Amino acid sequence: MNFSEIIDNLGSVINNGDKDNIIQVFSAVDKAIKNNQIDVLMDDNLHNLLNGMCCKINDSGKMNLLYSKKFLETYNQNSSIHLSILIHEFSHLFDYLNSRKAYMDPSNIMFTLMELRALHNEAEFIKYFLADKFKLSEMEEFIMQSYENDDMETVSVLLQNTSPSMFFWFLEMEGYFMDKIVNKDAIFQKIKLMGYELLDRYKKAPNINELLIQKGKYSTFIKYLSHILYLICNNSEDEVKKCLTQPDIEKTSKEIESILQANNDRYNLYINMFFFKWEQDINTRYIVSE
């Protein structure tokens, strides 16, 4: 089997569904590949299945969809995980085709939105195109359950170290400020209250799974704190520094960063456990022995 057959099989599955956003993603990227806007290549530096595909711009500036040898060799008609991984990368390619500047700037807040959207598209694809036709892998079940039960919070924290609820909270605050619904002082007060709330939740977290969620919220809070402060301070670095050194903000942010640092190894071990478990599941239940 060659890779184009996997893409054709993905198309056959999608053509039998009715989620317009998924159909739009596939159609646009499939067309771009056929028109040679995107090259599809095997990459010997990719070795496993779950992390066996990525998008990368080559030295000449052309977008490549790269896949591992294992991805190709282990695909069969009964495997859904290959299609789930592929639609996730197609979502990235779709964003690249439509918002190239934002896609190429990881510091841009839109880049995070694209990452979350790719995972959300994957979840919808699993639920509405695969769940009633395939025996899903444990990873796909996990993604779908997070989609159904907690608005993608758990899986986004686990796979992307980003809390959607925290990220969209910052976007909401940005919108309130830009639309002049609230002023700078009100935004600043909301940030302080959110910091207090996060620290309180950490103290009350009952188990490792809840701690993982809090870790994602903390990481997202720290990442976008400066972003919102620059916005409300008119991009004045001096004003942002003043905000960051105010007692409430400085104490809260330092305590959150300390918690992240102190628990980093523990979180990574917990996350790696999931990936090991999922890869083992795929190897034993979905892949023909090599």
Domain boundaries, the chain: 3-105, 164-277
Task: Report pLDDT for 1.
Answer: 76
Distance of CA 19 to the CA centre of its chain: 20
Task: Report pLDDT for 275.
Answer: 92
Q: What is the pLDDT along the chain (290 residues), one digit of tens a residue?
A: 789 999 999 999 999 888 999 999 999 999 999 999 999 999 999 988 888 999 999 999 899 999 999 999 889 888 999 999 999 999 999 999 998 888 888 878 899 999 999 999 999 999 999 999 999 999 999 999 999 999 999 999 999 999 999 999 999 999 999 998 989 889 989 999 999 999 998 888 778 778 888 889 999 999 999 889 888 888 888 888 888 887 788 889 999 999 899 888 888 998 999 999 999 998 887 655 44
Q: Is residue 195 within 8 Å of residue 248, measured between CB atoms? A: yes
Task: Report pLDDT for 244.
Answer: 80
Task: Report pLDDT for 290.
Answer: 43
- 129-146 core/surface letters (b: 16 or more CB in 10 A; e: else): bbeeebebbbbbebbbeb
| Residue whose C-alpha is closest to residue 84's, from 112, 49, 108 | 49
Angle at 188 between CA 184 and CA 189, to 5 degrees: 120
DSSP structure class, residue 179: T
Q: Is residue 65 within 8 Å of residue 46, measured between CB atoms? A: no
Burial label, 29 (beta-carbon count in 10 A; 0-12, 13-18, 19+): buried
Q: Return the amino acid letter for 137.
A: S
CA gyration radius for the chain?
Answer: 21
DSSP structure class, residue 246: S
Task: Report pLDDT for 286.
Answer: 60
Task: Report pLDDT for 283.
Answer: 85
Task: Report pLDDT for 289.
Answer: 45
| Residue whose C-alpha is closest to residue 152's, from 116, 195, 206 | 116
Q: Tokens 């758990």, residue?
A: 154
Predicted structure pTM score: 0.92
**Half-sphere exposure in the Cβ direction for 244 (13 Å, CA):** 17
Contacts of 222 (CB under 8 A, 6+ apart): 253, 256, 257, 260
Task: Report pLDDT for 151.
Answer: 96
**In 3-state terms, what secondary structure has residue 51?**
coil
